[in-house]
Amino acid sequence: GKERLKVISRPYDKLLMVKSICRDSEKLNEVEPSLKHFRSLVNKLEGVNPRKLNHEEKLAFWINIHNSLVMHSILVYGNPKNSMKRLSGLLKAAYNVGGRSLNLDTIQTSILRCRVSRPGQVFRFLFASRSKGKAGDLGKDYAITQPEPLIHFALCSGNFSDPSVR
């Protein structure tokens, strides 16, 4: 009964669910130091050279970048119920990694070599941006070197059923 439910839910006891985003300037002042730190970390990604990482390091790096970019996108663009608006927001967000502007679509298809199923994906070509540089360079220099069949279990797309992101 109830005891079993508690045991099952323990890993999620300390998770925070963002139900809405407050734009109150007083509240934003409270988190400004954290936002500045986050921005400085994102800016440092430009100097990262993924070519120097081995397979396991690339896998961990790109999963973390992917999930961070999803959270960043939701914080900036919100998490609308309309799947097209949601997809648009997810694909607008991009990080500069090693001098290349990369969005979620590029990370999923060219680097992690997987496709995350999401509503409205049929229309993703309308919103997907191209990364700077030759597409072949991404595969050779940035992509993981071996297929990872379980990668979908590590990627978050902002859905309730996705893995939790810490």
Q: Block means of pLDDT (10 residues each) for the chain, length 166 residues?
A: 50 61 72 87 95 94 94 83 81 93 92 70 49 56 90 84 72
Q: Give residue 118's pLDDT.
A: 52
Cβ(145)–Cβ(58) under 8 Å? Answer: yes
At residue 47, the 3 state secondary structure works out as: helix
Unique residue bearing structure tokens 């049929």: 122
Q: Which two tokens stand for residue 24?
A: 């109150």
Positive or negative, the Cα torsion across 142, 143, 146, 151? positive
Identify the H or E element spanning 97. Answer: strand 94-97
Q: Give residue 166's pLDDT.
A: 65
Q: Give residue 130's pLDDT.
A: 47
Q: Give residue 133's pLDDT.
A: 44
Give the residue from 140, 95, 133, 94 showing the smallest Cα distance to 113: 140
